Structure 1
Amino acid sequence: MQVTGDFHVHTNFCPHGSSDLMEEYVLEAIEKDLAYISFTEHAPLPVTFVDPTPEKDSAMRLEDVRSYIKEGNRLKEKYQDKITIFIGFEVDFIEGYQGETEQFLNQYGLELDDAILSVHMLKAPNGSYVCLDYSAEEFKRIIGLFGSIDAVYKAYYQTVKRAVTQDLGKYKPTRIGHLTLIEKFVTLFPSTHPFDHELDELLKLIKEKEYQLDLNTAGLYKEHCKRIYPNQSVIAKANQLSIPFVTGSDSHVARTISRGFELLPEDILSSLPKRLGKR
């Protein structure tokens, strides 16, 4: 079955991505016969938050936001007869910085077509912040900070729960990004606890909120993961609850637009909406 669009796409405004221009992503999407492409660049981190990654490159710069939206709108007009283009953000939920996040959303919300709410940053027991998906070496260090692999998983799902339940104002994203991102290094650092209860509770909350789930194929291509975010078990449970999925490749280069969509479960593909409007 043909997937209609790729709704998790990054750009040259991402400092840890590639130099591929937004227009190159659009042309690739058209070549692959997609009806939609949604740019969801990493929203600038809160001004008072210190990016814990070595290169400080987790998100786009605040001073580039206006240029990013302007270029997206230019492409919308140029290619309006060939593809529907959405402009949005992947917004980080960072514990303790909800106020600044809401302010950012209030400032730009009216100009956005789409948005994803994700957790990449965790607050460690010593009060420092860490980026959980940066590298295997960093993840090993994070385990040391938290005391055990299970403690890291627990903190991640607790933070995602806060992201789901926190009031971030009327422009809060209603799609939860890569729900099982914590599994990025699962073959190296498997948890000893299944966390089924935590995931079941999260899915119940997502259903109650009438939120969506990012059906993210990026994990299939991560060396120590090789699975979809969320994993197949969570996909099956979410499907039973009729939680909507939205396909995303999480591409940071143009050539990987819609990569892995043909590997998504057939029953999920058949239930995807044929058309999507603005959020």
Structure 2
Amino acid sequence: MILADYHLHTSFSSDSESPMEEMIRHAVSLGLKTICFTEHHDIDYPVNPDGFDFLLDLPSYKKEIFKMKEHYQDQIEINYGVELGLMPTTLDQCAAFVKDEPFDFIIGSTHIVDFMDPYDAIYFETYPARLGLAHYFEDILKNISSFNHYCVYGHLDYAARYIKDPSFEFHYRDYSDLLDAILRMIIENGKGIEVNTAGLKYGMSDPNPHHEIIKRYIELGGEIITIGSDGHCPKHMAYDFYKLPDFLSNLGIRYYTVFRDKKPEFIKL
């Protein structure tokens, strides 16, 4: 069983209304041993109909999480994380944000490409499915070429969640040059990737990223894989985790990873 959820959001993230303590209590009820909150911080997130700014109130978040860590220390391990939304134009600001902050875990993610979030329909109205996904991968490569202050890269094919074209099928070979460059750089820099079960929540056949991406990461020598639900409310915590041991084992994966003080620790499946 997988007993650690390393991608969780609470009301400290713009797109969640869930109190942290409510999430913690549900994690305890699920039998989880370790959780890591990874609140959103996306500098220069574009104006959107929901009014989300995705700017993290770090002092308030830090005060609450350390209070919760102490209060629940005998019931569950709670770790201090952040999900940085990276864009080529904000990398220096992101580096300054995490500098000297005692995070246990940092997810680097790409949510915005050309000031559009693939979550919004305009992205794939602007770019056809295959081109839009390629453009997304190009921005990831730009980000990791200049930014190294992360532990794993989150939901590497996040944009694919929102492709509506029924004729689209993902094949690694269609993006192999880009994806090989991304995965090699992640590995060379001592970083990892996450398996994010929100893909399953969105009705995809695989978590994010697609199994071909995970398989190639392993083939290239990658070892660091964290597991996260990307849950924004209690009912989505540890979403479909029961499916992952067989899924990962079939890809030749025997361990998953947790982080404390930004250092990886490997746990047998």
TM-score (norm 2): 0.86
Alignment partner, residue 163 of structure 2: 186
Displacement of 1:174 after TM fit? 2.0
Alignment partner, residue 98 of structure 1: 91
> Please, which runs of 5 or more residues in structure 2 have no aligned partner?
263-269
Q: After TM superposition, list the pairs within 5 Å mapping 1:112-151 onto structure 2.
A: 112-123=103-114, 129-134=115-120, 137-143=121-127, 148-151=128-131
**Residue-by-residue CA offset, 1:184-225 (whole Å, 9 max, x unaligned):** 1235262787212221221111111111111100011114x3
**Residue-by-residue CA offset, 1:228-257 (whole Å, 9 max, x unaligned):** 111111111222323311000000001211
Alignment partner, residue 156 of structure 1: 136
The CA RMSD measured in Å over matched residues stands at 2.2
Aligned counterpart for 2:225 among listed residues 227, 245, 248:
245
Displacement of 1:260 after TM fit? 1.2
The answer to whether structure 1 residue 81 and structure 2 residue 74 are counterparts is yes
Q: Could you tell me how far apart the structure 2 residues matched to 1:211 and 1:276 are?
A: 12
Alpha-carbon distance change, 211 to 236 in structure 1, aligned in 2, over 3 angstroms: same
Displacement of 1:167 after TM fit? 3.4
Displacement of 1:5 after TM fit? 0.2
Amino acid in the other structure paired with 1:120: H
Alignment partner, residue 277 of structure 1: 260
Displacement of 1:74 after TM fit? 0.5
Q: Could you tell me how far apart the structure 1 residues matched to 2:91 and 2:223 are?
A: 25
> Please, which runs of 5 or more residues in structure 1 have no aligned partner?
124-128
Displacement of 1:277 after TM fit? 2.8
Alignment partner, residue 10 of structure 1: 9
The answer to whether structure 1 residue 263 and structure 2 residue 212 are counterparts is no
Q: How many residues align?
A: 255
TM-score (norm 1): 0.83
Aligned counterpart for 2:46 among listed residues 36, 48, 51:
51
Amino acid in the other structure paired with 2:124: K
Contact 2:123 2:132 in 1 (8 A): no
Alignment partner, residue 265 of structure 2: none
Q: Could you tell me how far apart the structure 1 residues matched to 2:158 and 2:258 are?
A: 27
Alpha-carbon distance change, 192 to 90 in structure 1, aligned in 2, over 3 angstroms: closer
Tell me which stretches of 4 or more aligned residues in structure 1 moved more than 6 Å: none
